[in-house]
Amino acid sequence: MSQRHTFTAEDVATAFESLEPLLFSRKRRTDAQGNPAPKMLVVAGAEGSGKTYLLNNSLLASRRYDDYVSLYDPAYRKLHPQYEQMKAGGGRYVYAHTEQFIWQLGGKLFEHALANHYDIIMETALDDAAFADVPALALQAGYQLELHLIACQKEFGHWNTLERGVKSVAEDQLERFVSLSKIEVSQANAARIIDAFEAACLVSPGSQISLYQRGMETDRESRLLCRSVCSTALQLVPQAAGADEAYFQPPHIEGRFEIRRTSLDQVPSTYPQYFQLVHTGMVDDQVRSNMLKACCATLGKAQALSERIPADVFRELSLYVLKYLHP
């Protein structure tokens, strides 16, 4: 934490108290007997996978989650006691210097929501291996889980964070640049976290897992590949696509995606399919061409803001241009 922008536990408590009337006045879910029956919506994927876009433009737009408590909103950063003083440094500066505060506030919101059985919305970039502990905590508190997992090839995800970062500088938004090494750390954590969620869903009837792909192959949109629900017999059962949706079949990958597992199966089903999508290289000529065009476009935007863009961004984009220019 920057010594110039310190905060105390009391500051976090004050921020929590300011949010409490808004966030915790929502209806709480109960079963037919009047017992708590809370649900937890988790959107997961490495940096640049499009979690927030999927959450805001698809899931929340459905209005099915109106009574859920969101543990993070960019506006929460304004509750830092020195937010006004930070603003002169710009959006990237504010983001960096409110990060520890926002994590502590989110932790406090999570503890209160969990203990009081509120429906919860969480996002994870898979960047903290400790997130693998969340499913067990949710089960202990009686939660039904709904995991939406986005698989994204790491170089596409990295380009997307660079594009997002350049846009944030142009518009002075609260954002940051993310290194490829940080995305690789997330992918290293993925097995532990995803396996923990699958194991929890497998013993919680009604819990579900949805797997998406996002990349140049999907026109940069998150495309649903499959969805499975835990049955009363404690099996993850693949579901047919809904009336208003169709499952995407990735080109150049044989076989359909499905998450299928019984309580007797020892081998996870979700992570191997996630791994396949994440580590499949961009080999198709059209995909490589689209990646090249995207990197060139981002590089052009960055050059127009050259004095405000870190040198690493230019180097990384230039390396991608060279890589995808040549077969």
117 — alpha (psi -120 to 50), left (phi > 0) or beta? left
Give the pLDDT mean for 242-254.
87
| Residue 71 reports pLDDT greater than 90 | yes
pLDDT of residue 67: 97
Q: Which two tokens stand for residue 271?
A: 């992570």
Query: Helix (H, G, I), strand (E, B), or coil: what is residue 215?
Result: coil
249 pLDDT band (50/70/90 cuts)?
very high
Q: Write down the domain spans for the chain.
A: 38-68+119-280
| Residue 36 reports pLDDT greater than 80 | yes
Direct distance between the N- and C-terminal alpha carbons of the chain, in angstroms, rounded to an integer: 44
At which residue do the structure tokens 């532990």 appear? 192
Nearest to 231 by CA among 262, 253, 255: 262
Separation CA 180–CA 78 (nearest Å): 28
What angle (nearest 5°) sits at the alpha carbon of residue 242, between those of residues 135 and 36? Answer: 35
Nearest to 24 by CA among 137, 113, 101, 147: 113
- Using the 8-state DSSP alphabet, how is residue 220 labeled? T
Give the pLDDT mean for 85-110.
94
Separation CA 287–CA 325 (nearest Å): 12
Q: pLDDT tens digit string along 275-315?
A: 999 998 888 999 999 999 999 999 999 999 988 999 999 99
- Using the 8-state DSSP alphabet, how is residue 150 labeled? E
Q: pLDDT tens digit string along 179-237?
A: 999 999 999 999 999 999 999 999 999 999 999 999 999 999 999 999 999 999 999 99
Q: Which two tokens stand for residue 170?
A: 């142009």
- Using the 8-state DSSP alphabet, how is residue 228 labeled? E
Amino acid at 68: Y
Q: pLDDT tens digit string along 85-95?
A: 998 888 889 99
What is the average pLDDT score of the chain?
95
pLDDT of residue 172: 86
DSSP H/E element including 87: none
Architecture of the domain defined by 38-68+119-280:
3-Layer(aba) Sandwich (3.40)
Q: pLDDT tens digit string along 138-155?
A: 999 999 999 999 999 999
Percent of the chain whose pLDDT exceeds 70: 99
253 pLDDT band (50/70/90 cuts)?
confident
Nearest to 1 by CA among 126, 75, 103: 103
Separation CA 214–CA 257 (nearest Å): 14
Q: Which two tokens stand for residue 286?
A: 């059209």
Phi, psi for residue 225 in degrees, rounded to 5:
-100, -40
pLDDT of residue 3: 55
| Residue 68 reports pLDDT greater than 70 | yes
1 pLDDT band (50/70/90 cuts)?
very low
Separation CA 239–CA 224 (nearest Å): 12
